[in-house]
Structure 1
Amino acid sequence: MSELNLEISWLHSFVTVAKTGSMTETAKILHRSQSAISMHIKNIEDTLGRAVFSRESRRLSLNASGQELLVHAQKILYVYRNSMRELMGSDVQGHISLGIPDDYAMAYLPALLSIFSEKYPSIEITLCCEPSSQLIPKIAANELDIAVITQDKADRGESLFSEELVWVGKQSQQIWNRSPLPVAMYEFGSQARAKILDKLESLSFGYRIVYNSPNIAGQLAAVESGMAIAVLTRCSVPAHLQVLNNTRLPKLPALDVGVMTSSSVTKGSLAHLLYDEIVLTLRKEA
């Protein structure tokens, strides 16, 4: 009988699907493509020679074999993470400063920080949540070690993924039917603002900016109040607000997201450990 081999990445995907009941949600959490998650589950089932999920409804649920595997998978992952922490990170101490816009922070930091802190529990991270237009100069001035930013040019840092921009509003208010269109906007000087304004200029019925905010909370407040519709990154849209797919609104471009380091960050430094984890965790498969 040949030796069975279940890779750690497969088990990580399996445990997350078991928790969420969805390959789509798992792909978002693990920052992998849905096809990669599906392949991991298929690899597990092919290796075991049996299904581990019941697919009778839209939500995936564990069958008897899956329940049994979950117990073992959780133990394996626990031992693996503790082993990696002891072998690689338990004696590593220090401080790293990380900059990231607040919309990306809400969507992408929890998984990243969870993984990094498991590997390096003694490294302290200071977060600076500001717009990319403020983070980029701070990196240049060595005031931050690392920043996840919206790229203002193709060679600004290491490319990670593209983030879709979407129109957001409250379905009950139908503000998108007003003329001129009331809009809540990103801060002055941002790449998102420049791209949005370019699209708004094409509106035959005009627009007016009723609210400017450097952070996501301000834009959400404007939408909630009924003042305006807003353009948000897809990752930051709360579940209770509507993504507007209305022919009256122009199609929006995507933002290119990257990671950059200050000139003081060198290969093998503490900050470069976090940089490598960001690239590994956040770079999305093509």
Structure 2
Amino acid sequence: MEIAIGNMDTALLKSFLTVAELGSFSDAAKLLNASQSTISGHIAKLEDLLHAQLFLRTTRRCGLSTAGEALLPLAREIIAAIERMEDSFLPSHMGGAIRLGVPDDYHLFSLLTKSIHGFFTSRPKVTVQIDAGLSENHRKGLRDGFLDLAILRTRVAAGTDDTVLAKSQLLWIAAPTLDLDRVDPLPLAHVSGPCQYFKAATAAIEAAGGQWMSLFSCSTLEGVRTAVKSGMALGAIPAEDCNDPSMIRSHQRLPPLPQFGVEFVLAQADPPVLVRALAERLRRDLGN
């Protein structure tokens, strides 16, 4: 829902904030599901109303002018106040897009999608773009402005209390045919990239004085499970994602593995109302 403030439509301020955040009219148009000419028209009208140039444009990027820098905090305050009002009294009228990063753990993903569906029910005009992947990649996405919110897997420190959400024990899995007394170094199957489970597994092996080798890397935990089931390697996955209890292995060469929980990280210290509302919903549902 757009609201007129004097002669100003809040759609103009939303376009201004999005261009300011992304530094690009075309990127802002994609995010707001509008044409570039519409976004350019919004900025031109806003500049006309305020009698000020808001952006310094180049052939590739655009940055805020002095007037744009002055408008930025005011625009944020106005939009945040209106969004809080709408979310309190007219949640079904709320519209917007949220970019969310989530772990690709299967058991956790199913819980999250159920929670997001509940969020949609009360706010049918809101869209949530979900990116499932590695936590380290999501941290970069938050820093680079590609995500608004991310739920990141994080190692549970010793002595952490029960307030940690979605705790999961990391387990060793291997096919019964893999003879752990004979293979050396230990052959590992793992998700490629900066995977925390892989890091935890290799760190545990090295701390115990053992050796390991990367035998198979892939993009998903399903690929890890398939490689392990073939008998070529062993892997480390969350207990809830082990769908075959016969694959869980305990052996003198396999050191204990840590627990992992989740943390919620916002791209902005003072996020938009919709982002905050989704984060609160996800925290509550994961806690239950």
In structure 2, what is the Cα distance between the partners aligned to 1:114 and 1:188? 30
Cα distance, 1:137–1:152 mapped onto 2, change above 3 Å? farther
Check conservation: 1:169, 1:175, Cα contact below 8 A. no
In structure 2, what is the Cα distance between the partners aligned to 1:245 and 1:236? 17
Check conservation: 2:103, 2:135, Cα contact below 8 A. yes
Q: Which has the larger radius of gyration?
A: 2
CA displacement, residues 28-47 of structure 1 (integer Å, 9 cap, x when unaligned): xxxxxxxxxxxxxxxxxxxx
Check conservation: 1:131, 1:215, Cα contact below 8 A. no
Query: How do residues 113-124 of structure 1 correspond to structure 2 at under 5 angstroms?
Result: 113-124=116-127
Check conservation: 1:90, 1:122, Cα contact below 8 A. yes
In structure 2, what is the Cα distance between the partners aligned to 1:94 and 1:178? 57
Check conservation: 2:191, 2:219, Cα contact below 8 A. yes
User: Could you tell me which of 110, 131, 136 is aligned with 2:134?
Assistant: 131
Query: How do residues 54-133 of structure 1 correspond to structure 2 at under 5 angstroms?
Result: 89-103=91-105, 105-133=108-136
CA displacement, residues 43-93 of structure 1 (integer Å, 9 cap, x when unaligned): xxxxxxxxxxxxxxxxxxxxxxxxxxxxxxxxxxxxxxxxxx997632222
In structure 2, what is the Cα distance between the partners aligned to 1:160 and 1:204? 32
User: How far did residue 264 of structure 1 move?
Assistant: 7.1
Which amino acid is 1:277 matched to?
A: R
TM-score (ref. length: structure 2): 0.58
Aligned residue number for residue 225 of structure 2:
220
SS in 1 for 2:124: coil
Identity %: 22
User: How far did residue 269 of structure 1 move?
Assistant: 1.5
SS in 2 for 1:163: strand
TM-score (ref. length: structure 1): 0.59
CA displacement, residues 87-119 of structure 1 (integer Å, 9 cap, x when unaligned): 763222221111112115534323322322232
Check conservation: 2:205, 2:212, Cα contact below 8 A. yes
In structure 2, what is the Cα distance between the partners aligned to 1:111 and 1:217? 21
Aligned residue number for residue 238 of structure 1:
243
CA RMSD of aligned residues (A): 3.1
Aligned residue number for residue 143 of structure 1:
146
Check conservation: 2:189, 2:214, Cα contact below 8 A. yes
In structure 2, what is the Cα distance between the partners aligned to 1:186 and 1:115? 30
SS in 2 for 1:176: coil
CA displacement, residues 202-240 of structure 1 (integer Å, 9 cap, x when unaligned): 456643221123421321221132221110122322247
SS in 1 for 2:283: helix
Q: How many residues align?
A: 195
In structure 2, what is the Cα distance between the partners aligned to 1:277 and 1:134? 23
Check conservation: 1:179, 1:206, Cα contact below 8 A. no
SS in 2 for 1:201: helix
Aligned residue number for residue 12 of structure 2:
none
Which amino acid is 2:283 matched to?
A: V
CA displacement, residues 141-195 of structure 1 (integer Å, 9 cap, x when unaligned): 22101111123798xxx95343211112233x24434321221124343333322
In structure 1, what is the Cα distance between the partners aligned to 2:210 and 2:203? 15
User: How far did residue 197 of structure 1 move?
Assistant: 1.2
In structure 2, what is the Cα distance between the partners aligned to 1:192 and 1:223? 15
CA displacement, residues 116-155 of structure 1 (integer Å, 9 cap, x when unaligned): 223223221111112011000111222101111123798x
Cα distance, 1:160–1:140 mapped onto 2, change above 3 Å? farther
Aligned residue number for residue 210 of structure 1:
215
With 200-209 and 257-266 compared, the bigger mean Cα shift is at 200-209
User: Could you tell me which of 187, 211, 216 is aligned with 1:182?
Assistant: 187
Aligned residue number for residue 35 of structure 1:
none
Aligned residue number for residue 58 of structure 1:
none
Check conservation: 1:142, 1:264, Cα contact below 8 A. no
